[in-house]
Amino acid sequence: MPRKKGQKPRHEADLAGVSSRAAPKVAVLKGGISVEREVSLTSGRMCAAALREAGFEVVEVDAGRDLPARLAEISPDVVFNALHGRWGEDGCVQGMLEWMGLPYTHSGVLASALAMDKIRSKEVFRAAGLPVAESLLAPRSEIEADHVMAPPYVVKPHNEGSSVGVYLVMEGANRPPKLAPEMPDMLMVEGFVPGRELTVSVLGERALTVTDIVTDGWYDYNAKYRAGGSRHVVPAELPAAVFDACMEQALTAHRALGCRGLSRTDFRWDEARGLDGLVVLEINTQPGMTPTSLSPEQAAHCGMSFADLCRWLVEDASCHR
């Protein structure tokens, strides 16, 4: 329903009175119970420090099973979601915050759930006309018994992030991968796309820039989060048509899933195929906010400090996303 003349946007209404206070109270959710807990702890600490620098009253919350009670006790004006992985990034915490009536940052329930489920998000991307890699969902028993797809291919959980549990099966491999015991029973098998690793952050309705992620090998968990694990070229040195396509497709992906706040879309680009070699891999609705993270780096390239980025996310928060 369109807003009436003079009516504030929903997120402004949710935050009515917050901006007029000397120090609005922000609860920063960090840690959590997913396999990405350590990354989230780092993201949360960084965001909390930036928000204090920006003038907010900040309470850091390690999100456990008692999270509803903790938030009821704290009674924050806004919840800054710095969680990563399942329960914090897949719509679960978002639904709880909606039920409690608390304005929060980043994407809402549906967009978060769709983005975390890589199979379903690919279906949305295809419907939006975005290029995606061939993929299928298969039981781990079948994946370990024989090749379910002609190599090269990648095996990974269909509902995790941060390159957790990713197996690359190269062309000519005689055997399928032997998976770690902690891997789930159902996994995504995706055709391997050769080429360069590119990424674009979208803030609100603006694609920021393209980053070329340079590594010595696979862009895995260590390459993402360990100092020196990768080198980021910002902005990426690409043909203008490829650069522009990345920016446009990231914005399309953000809108197609109904993302809010900040998202980051990852691509692979096979230079030998030109523009046809560009493929959307996935979208992240809770991009990392660590010293080696990509979205803060892109925001800085556009002239936005880390404190200003965190402030923007708080001011964009709402309860119905």
Of the listed 230, 288, 295, 311, which one is catalytic?
A: 288
DSSP string, 252-276: HHHHHHT--SEEEEEEEE-GGGGGG
* Sheet strands (E) in the chain: 25-30, 57-62, 78-81, 135-139, 153-156, 167-169, 186-191, 196-203, 206-214, 231-233, 262-269, 278-284
276 given a catalytic annotation: no
Residue 154, SS3 per DSSP: strand
112 given a catalytic annotation: no
266 given a catalytic annotation: yes
Of the listed 266, 277, 293, 316, which one is catalytic?
A: 266
Of the listed 196, 260, 264, 321, which one is catalytic?
A: 264
Of the listed 14, 160, 282, 316, which one is catalytic?
A: 282
In contact, 188 and 156? CB cutoff 8 Å = yes
Of the listed 14, 32, 34, 36, which one is catalytic?
A: 36
135 given a catalytic annotation: no
284 given a catalytic annotation: yes
Please give the structure tokens belonging to residue 144: 């370990």
152: cis peptide before it, omega within 30°? yes
Of the listed 284, 293, 295, 318, which one is catalytic?
A: 284
Kindly give, in sequence order, each residue whose CB lies less than 8 Å from that of residue 111, ignoring residues fewer than 6 positions away: 257, 258, 259, 260, 285, 321
225 given a catalytic annotation: yes
261 given a catalytic annotation: no
- Angstrom distance (rounded) from CA 206 to CA 293: 19
- Angstrom distance (rounded) from CA 105 to CA 314: 6
Of the listed 121, 162, 230, 295, which one is catalytic?
A: 162
Give me the active site residues, please. 36, 162, 225, 264, 266, 282, 284, 288
